[in-house]
Amino acid sequence: MITTNTFIAKKESVKHNWHIIDANNLILGRMAVKIATVLMGKHKPEYTPHVDTGDFVIVVNADKIRLTGKKMKEKMYYFHTGYIGGLNERPFEWMMKKSAERVIMLAVRRMLPKNKLAQKMLTKLKVYQGPDHPHDAQQPEPLTI
């Protein structure tokens, strides 16, 4: 009989670190992939799919992200009100003016797994438009992309 010692993380033993990303002049999709990986904990050797092993991520300068190609003018966000004929669309430029934080949150949320654990992971993402954030006490480490 062959026995293997597969490590499975327990939620009590997981240590959550804090990371900070300066979104100034970063491409939205590439940044969102890195953020989703860190939120899930896939960058750690003790990653376990059913346990939240990810870290906290702070994103500053969210209003200075960029897109490639003509997406800045052509990208649309769709949502449905629930009523008949209630499909609404918003252009990327409008979303950036109204809430740049929401653009990053949507991009990251759609890259997380589609389960209940994803909501817990998304609460560990903190996004701010300017360069200031209230999480200095956690001593976040810079995350390079």
Q: In angstroms, rounded to a whole number, what is the distance separating the alpha carbons of residues 59 and 118?
A: 18
Tell me the pTM.
0.92
Report the CATH number at residue 126. Answer: 3.90.1180.10
Q: Supply the range of the domain harboring residue 132.
A: 18-67+99-142
Per the domain annotation, does 116 fall within a domain?
yes
Mean per-residue pLDDT pooled into runs of 10, the chain (145 residues): 81 95 96 97 94 96 95 95 96 95 97 95 96 96 93
Q: How far is CA 99 from CA 122, 127, 132, in A?
A: 17, 11, 16
Backbone angles phi, psi at 63, to 5 degrees: -80, 0
Per the domain annotation, does 48 fall within a domain?
yes
CB atoms within 10 A of CB 63: 17
66: nearest Cα among 103, 109, 112, 19: 103
Per the domain annotation, does 75 fall within a domain?
no
